[in-house]
Amino acid sequence: TPAIRPLVAGNWKMNGMGESLAELRAIATGLSSDLGQKLDAVICVPATLLSRAAETLVSETVRLGGQDCHVKEIGAHTGDISAAMLKEAGADYVILGHSERRTDHHETDELVRAKTEAAWKAGLAAIICVGETATERQEGRTLDVIGRQLLGSLPDNVKSDTTIIAYEPVWAIGTGQTPTAEDVEKAHAFMRSELIARFGSEGAKLRLLYGGSVKSANAVELLGISNVDGALVGGASLKATDFLAICEAYR
């Protein structure tokens, strides 16, 4: 199988006002060296920052993403933003089905699947998140949960250039806790085999990110695990130095 180009994605969540654009600029500058040749990088900023962030990026070393989109393209949906709007504002990616959306906004696999189709239609690549809660893990249901979420959240015609999977154990997000390398390897090997079973050679090429308390201190270990093709980074994506230190794992 051909080598998969790594992707390191940042998720700023509901953080980042105008002054944060300096961090974005610093990330772009840091990746304009040979480091940027080794990976794809995307920062998913709050929607309010997208157009200014797009103007801020002087190089092509960093792409922009949104953190959610509506299933519809346009219409009476107060407070929502469509994939086409994200695209117009400068996004090339969108995170879908993040555990905070699944919890705070009761998003289901079916909805995530519909949003994925909407993202594709607008020309965005979808970063689709799956992952078990602490309780599900204690009950030994980790792989069941991931398998069900993958099955339900992914449409049938998945292409590896517009679909990225992020495995994010809910209990590892923002907690400083991470699974063991062995547990990550097991989860990613499971996802790979499920994806190949369903999508054939496209499944073999899909990028599988690990997310949950990734930082510079654990990046080399986590990103070195087989079938881990990058990271989805929350807290450590807010500062350019932290984000770039994680990207250094691929130098």
Active-site residue list: 98, 168
Q: Give whichever of 131 and 203 is closer to ligand PEP, judged by the CB atom.
A: 131
Tell whether 13 is in a known binding site.
Answer: yes
Beta bridge partners of 42: 9, 63
Q: How far is the CB of 178 from ligand PEP (least distance, A)?
A: 9
Q: Give whichever of 33 and 177 is closer to ligand PEP, judged by the CB atom.
A: 177
Which among 112, 93, 75 has a CA at the least distance from the CA of 83? 93
Which among 171, 165, 172 has a CA at the least distance from the CA of 147? 165
Q: Give whichever of 89 and 232 is closer to ligand PEP, judged by the CB atom.
A: 232
Q: How far is the CB of 75 from ligand PEP (least distance, A)?
A: 29
Site string (163-202) toward ligand PEP, x via CB under 6 A: -----x----xx----------------------------
d(CA 45, CA 14): 8
Q: How far is the CB of 188 from ligand PEP (least distance, A)?
A: 15
d(CA 198, CA 69): 25
- DSSP structural state of residue 82: B
Task: Find the part of the chain contacting ligand PEP (CB under 6 A) among 82-90, 156-164, 191-199, 209-217.
Answer: 209-217
Which among 75, 88, 78, 89 has a CA at the least distance from the CA of 46? 89
